Chains A and B, each alone.
Chain A
Amino acid sequence: MKELFPVKQVMGFAFSIVLTAVALLVYFTDMSYTMGMTVLLITAFVQAGLQVVVFMHAGETKDKGSIYINIYYALIIALFTIFGTLLVLVWDM
């Protein structure tokens, strides 16, 4: 029975609900802008990682290497693009 019960997925589901609840706190409580954004960014990235690993099964096949290289490459480029754009258009304008 233990093999049939998807402990990892259930835990993941519970955790993703917790993350959503924490993110919702930003709306329902009276946080400062910085605090709220920090909470949102952290929960968003953890949530995305959780979904990719637990529910989209990254790392469970022999393509593991390619999938993670792909994700890291995409992350690097996305972060460079976002922070570069912020730098050019907002921070150092």
Chain B
Amino acid sequence: MDFFDRFAVPHPSFLIYASMVGIGLTMLAIVVGITYFKKWGYLWREWITTVDHKRIGIMYLLTALLMLFRGGVDGIMMRYQLSMPENTFLDSQHYNEVFTTHGIVMILFMAMPFIIFFFNFLVPLQIGARDVAFPRLNALSFWLFFMGMGLFNLSFIIGGSPDAGWTSYFPLAGNEFSTSVGTNYYMIAIQIAGIGTLMTGINFITTILKMRAPGMTLMKMPMFTWSAFIANVIIVFAFPVLTVLLAMGTMDRLFGTNFFTTDNGGMDMLWANLFWVWGHPEVYILILPAFGLYSEIIPTFARRNLYGYKSMVASMVVISVLSFVVWAHHFFTMGQGPFANSIFSITTMAIAIPTGVKIFNWLFTLWKGKIEFTTPMLYSVLFIPLFTLGGVTGVMLAMSAADYQYHNTMFLVAHFHNVIIPGVVYAMLAGMTFYWPKIFGFMLNERLGKWTAWLLTIGFVLAFIPMYITGLDGQARRMYTYSESTGFSLLNMVSFGGAAIMAIAFVLLVYNIYYSIRYSPRDIGNDPWDARSLEWSTHTPIPEYNFAITPQVASTQAFWDSKKNGHELFKGEIEKIHMPNNSGLPFIMSCMFFVFGFAMVFSIWPVVIVSLIGILACLVYRSFEQDHGRYISVEEIKETETRLRGAKK
């Protein structure tokens, strides 16, 4: 192929050209806007070079919301394409690209940054720390993730999107069947973002183990922190598999190795196997922090202690092991015998037990509680039955013999959306609404929030429950169209209606943010929900050092006990506080990773070498850099504390 041909989109359509123009204009508008309002310096000093976990968290949140809409548009396009038989809105190639992008964007660039936003924002506050253990590594994590995301999103306007499914199974993803650079983007963009995630995992394990406030033993940590800890342990053990896998895939595509080819000793099924060795734990990386958020929200609005703290922890520890031993249930039909399938069937069903324990714990927390139906609570209460439905269909899929009927049908699609949307997305929206006042200093409108929750639920049920039926009737996933004689058309139209209602719900969410920015009252105090854990005990807005005095913790619900049971959180005098310095290095290094990734995708070797030298130079510079951080003086802290009306002492 001619060199410049590789940059052209191999399969252009009006939609793609329109997106190109749209993206170009948006970029231009952003650059012009920042220049016009003279914000470049502000952006560089306060955001790009920041090592503050709260600001990094907010950047993760913005990325996640952006990607939620990108992935959502892909979803709507697919639903519209399937709403009528023989629809010609998308052709098969374009449909392949759309479902591939939808999957990757939603899992890796929406759900992952959303949970990492909560890790960043909440974990240091919940354990009474001033920042994470390695603040600069944290900035590097974010920027690597961000550049991976950027590189991936570039694919559909330069060179073409990946089109082999988000699982990218070989041999389909090999050079022979995926000739465009799309799958190169997949391999390299996810690799770069994945390195960032792996660093996040290491960072938060260390933070949680080493930086807890005095008195906070492991069994006194808030439940979200526990879930974050377990999720990060799983990240550290699962993501290296992805790293190696993507490296092998890259070598197969770019350097002619034969790891996953069908001849020369390669084994294509090894890709599927290793992908799910990472992929299944990944599911739990997403769902455990979501469970953690529900465990924060439900006790707050049921006005009761979380029921069964120890069993919650135990079930998560069990999940951290079991999540690694079930992966083969993703390919029961790949050809292994009934013995292997039975083993993985049993382990899969076993994992429903700790999950069930958690469901019952939430129900018992609600039992006899004085339940207050705020928006976050509404999401949580809607989550329990919907997620349970998804869990039960999961157990159906876990039966390997029956799976031959369900495999790769819309039944499966319905199942995983049924666990991920009420499980993860609802938790993210609930958590976002719950912590919004702590982050931005005003509450989101409750009335609009409840409308969003209900519309989302109605849309969800209409969009995904019909898929169970069409799936059992044999509608395969990833089919870009079907004939009228199949009889799938009515239910698919219902499904599209549901997807449209979900889209309206997300628009309403945006409107809610806009409305609340304009009209929401700002005098809400530090603890608007009357909540229970440490993050609510500091001021709003949170000072950069989080807590003027390190809190002393004596129970699992430290802040609640300080409000109701007379525990004293902040003992002692204000002392000078040691904080890390900002640094532009993570951003610069990640930019080099971006260039490296882009050059790798298109095999432009001189640029690859130069950018690699650049990355190495950043590492060397960092090794010799002397940076001992800085101190915030006692006077400055006192001044800030008075300004925030927080004479806590």
Contact = CB atoms under 8 A, between A and B. Distances in A.
Contact of A74 (B237, B273, B343, B344): B237
Contacts of A53: none
Contact of A85 (B277, B321, B334, B335): B277
B37 interface: no
A87 B340 CA distance: 6
Contacts of B344: 84, 88
Interface string A4-26: 00000000000000000000000
Majority secondary structure of chain B interface residues (helix, strand, loop or mixed): helix
Closest 5 pairs (CB-CB, A-B):
A92-B340, A92-B337, A87-B340, A77-B324, A88-B336
Contact of A84 (B237, B267, B320, B325): B325
Interface in A55-93: 66, 73-74, 76-77, 80-81, 84-85, 87-89, 91-93
A57 to B, nearest CB: 19
Interface string B313-349: 0000000110011011000001111011001100000
Contacts of A80: 324-325
B269 interface: yes
A93 B334 CA distance: 9
B209 interface: yes
B277 A93 contact: no
A80 to B, nearest CB: 5
Given A76-B321, A89-B336, A92-B336, A81 B277 contact: yes
B273 A92 contact: no
B324 A92 contact: no
A81 B337 CA distance: 18
Contacts of B340: 87-88, 91-92
Contacts of B233: 73
A92 B321 contact: no
Contacts of B339: 87, 92
B554 interface: no
A79 to B, nearest CB: 10
A69 B340 CA distance: 28
B612 interface: no
B336 A85 contact: no
Contact of B337 (A74, A85, A93): A93
A87 B343 CA distance: 10
Interface in B234-283: 237, 241, 267, 269-270, 273-274, 277
A73 B446 CA distance: 44
Nearest to B241: A81
B321 A88 contact: no
A91 B335 CA distance: 12
Given A73-B320, A88-B336, 7 more contacts: A66-B209, A80-B325, A81-B277, A81-B324, A89-B269, A89-B336, A92-B336
Contact of B327 (A73, A84, A89, A93): A84
A89 B325 contact: no
Majority secondary structure of chain A interface residues (helix, strand, loop or mixed): helix
B489 to A, nearest CB: 38
A88 B237 contact: no
B155 to A, nearest CB: 31
B346 to A, nearest CB: 13
Nearest to B340: A92
A77 B337 contact: no
A34 B327 CA distance: 29
Nearest to B332: A88
Contact of A73 (B209, B274, B321, B334): B321
Contacts of B320: 73
Given A89-B267, A92-B339, A93-B336, A84 B321 contact: no
A87 B341 CA distance: 10
Interface string B170-212: 0000000000000000000000000000000000000001000
Nearest to A87: B340
9 contacts: A77-B324, A84-B328, A88-B328, A88-B334, A88-B344, A91-B340, A92-B336, A92-B339, A93-B337
B237 A77 contact: yes
A66 B233 CA distance: 13
Nearest to A86: B340
Contact of B273 (A66, A76, A89): A89
Contacts of B328: 84, 88
A21 B472 CA distance: 60
B207 to A, nearest CB: 15
A87 B270 CA distance: 12
A74 B277 CA distance: 14
A74 to B, nearest CB: 7
Nearest to B267: A89
Contacts of B270: 89
Contacts of B335: 93
A79 B380 CA distance: 37
Nearest to B335: A93
A76 B334 CA distance: 25
Nearest to B323: A77
B273 A77 contact: no
Contacts of B274: 85
Contacts of A91: 340
B266 to A, nearest CB: 13
A68 to B, nearest CB: 15
Nearest to B326: A84
Nearest to B327: A84
Interface string A25-65: 00000000000000000000000000000000000000000
Nearest to A74: B237
A84 B329 CA distance: 11
A45 to B, nearest CB: 19
Contacts of A77: 237, 321, 324
A91 B343 CA distance: 13
A73 B317 CA distance: 11
Nearest to A85: B273
A29 to B, nearest CB: 28
Contacts of A92: 336-337, 339-340
B273 A88 contact: yes
A69 to B, nearest CB: 10
Nearest to B324: A77
Contacts of A66: 209
B332 to A, nearest CB: 10
A80 B343 CA distance: 12
Contacts of B241: 81
Contacts of B269: 89
B241 to A, nearest CB: 8
B329 to A, nearest CB: 11
A65 to B, nearest CB: 11
B95 to A, nearest CB: 31
